[in-house]
Amino acid sequence: MLAYTYTAPGKFELCEKPKPVLLDDRDAIVKVTLASICTSDLHIKHGSVPRAVPGITVGHEMVGIVEQVGAAVTTVRPGDRVTVNVETFCGECFFCQNGWVNNCTDPDGGWALGCRIDGGQAEYVRVPHADQGLDKIPDGVTDRQALFVGDLLATGYWAAQISEIKPQDTVLILGAGPTGLCTLQCVLLKHPKRIIVCDPDVQRLDFVRRHYPDVLTVSTENLAEFVRANSDHGGADTVLEVAGSATSFRMAWESARPNAIVTVVALYDQPQILPLPDMYGKNLTFKTGGVDGCNCAETLRLIKQGKIDTTPLITHTFPLREIEAAYALFENRQDGVIKVAIEC
Ligand SMILES: [Zn+2]
Ligand SMILES: [Zn+2]
């Protein structure tokens, strides 16, 4: 089968590989129908994910059809259409029992697919702990509607959930890239009084205005003044930092009102400074981390009900054999690309 492979630092290649087989009773083999390219794939390519293993098939956001299951798998059967979770988790350890699946202590736990073990930019993928890692796609929901459930949308849902958003809140989202847009959709479900989206890219802000006319948008230069003018207590009640730029962490806590919650979803290239003397008395609560991606069944329900629709994010589609061109487009942010779907 064809599999897009991390062959050496800085290099991905489309290779011919054997079809994966079940290695454990809890595994499933999934025939991938649609996959996507994530910024984290680029991080692997550029060497900023040291735990990524050369030789692995990349890709950790995909949907497909169950082909085969191990004897211990109970929740899915061959023929089921499924989303694949970016995180592998056992469902049994202390962290899984608390819903903190990102910190699962199983040897396979955490981000394994497309990083430490073969992922899904391929014709088939082996999914360990399939009872936890696969969710059935409801009838009437298409592959394109479900594509981001396991990673991007899981992140947006988790971010909105931990931010304790209340109806009277002004919520500021920093970043209108793919994760920012998924976060926005999940914040909208909480119905806060106001939502402000900030991004330096005018095209991205334009996309937000076109699709979500009730959401306020602002460029990074005017942020401080705009937030003061469009909030009730001198700053945002809740800030979700999804941008991860050199200056966005500072923008996040500066834009927050006293006693606000600041949720940091972004993954930074560099350490960030937390200038406690400057924020003394502001009494902020910071929430940080990586997605606990265990609400996929719920997001699939919301998609089916028409409350979440991430299909406008898919701006381009390529067949697997042209994945090289898809990466070039995504990496160089050409032609207004937001997300690329790969037909496997
Ligand atoms: Zn990802
Ligand atoms: Zn676990």
Closest CA to 36 of 332, 314, 321, 290: 314
Ligand with the closest atom to the CA of 182: 1
Cβ-contact 159, 186 below 8 angstroms: yes
CA 169 / ligand 1 centre spacing (Å): 29
pLDDT at 268 over 90: no
Ligand with the closest atom to the CA of 105: 2
Dihedrals phi, psi of 44, to nearest 5 degrees:
-65, -50
Higher pLDDT, 49 or 310: 310
Q: What is the mean pLDDT of the chain?
A: 96
Q: Alpha helix locations (H) across 98-195? A: 130-133, 143-146, 152-162, 178-188
pLDDT at 270 over 90: no
Give the tens place of pLDDT for each residue, 210-260: 999 999 999 999 999 999 999 999 999 999 999 999 999 999 999 999 999
- Say how far apart CA 292 and CA 249 lie, in whole Å: 21
* Nearby residues for ligand 1 (ion, Cβ within 5 Å): 38, 40, 151
CA 87 / ligand 2 centre spacing (Å): 10
Q: Which CATH architecture has domain 2-151+292-343?
A: Alpha-Beta Complex (3.90)
CA 259 / ligand 2 centre spacing (Å): 33
Cβ-contact 280, 304 below 8 angstroms: no
Six-digit token string for 163: 């931010």
- 83, β-bridge pairs: 63, 135
- CATH code for the part of the protein at 156-288: 3.40.50.720
Cβ-contact 164, 238 below 8 angstroms: yes
pTM for the predicted model, two decimal places: 0.95
Q: CA of 134: how far to CAs of 89, 149, 194, in Å?
A: 11, 11, 35
pLDDT of residue 148: 98
pLDDT tier, 269 (very low <50, low <70, confident <90, very high otherwise): confident
Q: Where in the chain is the domain with CATH 3.40.50.720?
A: 156-288
Give the tens place of pLDDT for each residue, 135-149: 999 999 999 999 999
Q: Where in the chain is the domain with CATH 3.90.180.10?
A: 2-151+292-343
Ligand with the closest atom to the CA of 35: 1
pLDDT of residue 267: 86
pLDDT tier, 78 (very low <50, low <70, confident <90, very high otherwise): very high
